[in-house]
C-alpha cells in the first residue's frame, strides 16, 4: 500500500511545483474567477487538458516529442503569435469603456472563453515540455505497475490547483471593486502576455 501512496504523492508534488507559476493560462483562469464568469467549464477544461497531456507523457508521447523538435518549434511560434494578439487586445481593453465595469470586467461568451483557454493551453510549448516531456520522463523512474498512481497524483494536483485558482479568486474580489483596479489588472496581464510572447519568439527563432 505504501509504494502506491508514495508514487501518488510524488506525482502530485512534481505537478504542483510546475503548475504553480505565473503564466498565460493561470492569469486567464484568475481573471475569469474574479469575474465569476464561466469558472466551472474553464476549470474543467484546464484540468482535463492537463490530465490528457499527463497520460500522453506517461504513455510515451514525451519521448516522441523529444525526437521531433520541429513540432515543438511550431507550437512555440504559434503560441507566441497568439500571446502577442491577446496581450495587445488586453492592453487596448484598458482604454475602452467595456473594461471599466465594476466587479465584472469585460464580459466574454462561453465559446470565446473556451476558445481562449484552449489556445492558452494547447498552443503553449511549455505545456508539452513540462507536462508531456518532463513528467513523462519522470514517470519512467517509477516501476511500471506504479506509473498509473504517479499519473493520478499529477492529474490530482492540476484539478486541485485550477479549482482553487478559479473559485478562490472571488475572495480577492473586494480588491477589484473599482474600475481602476480592473485597468491595473488588465495592464499587468497584457504586459505579461507580451513578455511571454517575446520569450517564446526567441525560443522559436
pLDDT single digits (tens) 135-166 = 877 787 788 888 899 999 999 999 999 999 99
84 Cβ contact partners less than 8 Å away, ≥ 6 residues apart: 193, 194, 197
CA 52 → CA 58, 69, 121, 185, 191, distances in Å?
A: 10, 21, 12, 31, 30
The predicted-structure confidence for 7-63, as pLDDT tens digits, reads as follows 898 989 888 887 877 678 988 999 899 888 999 999 999 999 999 999 988 887 666
Of 69, 58, 83, 79, the residue nearest 139 (C-alpha): 58
Query: For the chain, what are the domain ranges?
Result: 2-204
Residue 155 class from Cβ within 10 Å (0-12 exposed, 13-18 middle, 19+ buried)?
A: buried
d(CA 170, CA 2): 38
Query: How does residue 190 score in pLDDT terms, banded at 50, 70 and 90?
Result: confident
Of 133, 117, 136, the residue nearest 125 (C-alpha): 133
Choice between 72 and 60, residue whose per-residue pLDDT is larger: 60
Q: Does residue 146 contact residue 4 with C-beta atoms inside 8 Å?
A: yes
Of all residues in the chain, what percent carry a pLDDT higher than 70? 86
d(CA 165, CA 179): 22
DSSP 36: T
E strand spans, 10-134: none
Of 122, 102, 121, the residue nearest 43 (C-alpha): 121
Task: Read off the C-alpha cell for 134.
Answer: 518532463
Amino acid at each position: 500500500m505504501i509504494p502506491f501512496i508514495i508514487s501518488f504523492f510524488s506525482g502530485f508534488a512534481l505537478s504542483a511545483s510546475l503548475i504553480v507559476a505565473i503564466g498565460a493560462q493561470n492569469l486567464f483562469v484568475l481573471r475569469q474567477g474574479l469575474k465569476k464568469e464561466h469558472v466551472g467549464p474553464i476549470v474543467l477544461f484546464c484540468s482535463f487538458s492537463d490530465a490528457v497531456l499527463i497520460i500522453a507523457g506517461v504513455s510515451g508521447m514525451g519521448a516522441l516529442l523529444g525526437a521531433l523538435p520541429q513540432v515543438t518549434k511550431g507550437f512555440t511560434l504559434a503560441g507566441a503569435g497568439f500571446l502577442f494578439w491577446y496581450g495587445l487586445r488586453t492592453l487596448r481593453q484598458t482604454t475602452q469603456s467595456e473594461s471599466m465595469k465594476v466587479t465584472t470586467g469585460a464580459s466574454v461568451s462561453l465559446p470565446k472563453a473556451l476558445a481562449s483557454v484552449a489556445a492558452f493551453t494547447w498552443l503553449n510549448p511549455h505545456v508539452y515540455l513540462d507536462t508531456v516531456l518532463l513528467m513523462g520522463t519522470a514517470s519512467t523512474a517509477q516501476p511500471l505497475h506504479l506509473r498509473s498512481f504517479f499519473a493520478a497524483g499529477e492529474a490530482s494536483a492540476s484539478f486541485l490547483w485550477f479549482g482553487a485558482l478559479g473559485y478562490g479568486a472571488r475572495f480577492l474580489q473586494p480588491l477589484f471593486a473599482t474600475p481602476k483596479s480592473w485597468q491595473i489588472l488588465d495592464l499587468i496581464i497584457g504586459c505579461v502576455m507580451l513578455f511571454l510572447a517575446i520569450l517564446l519568439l526567441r525560443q522559436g527563432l
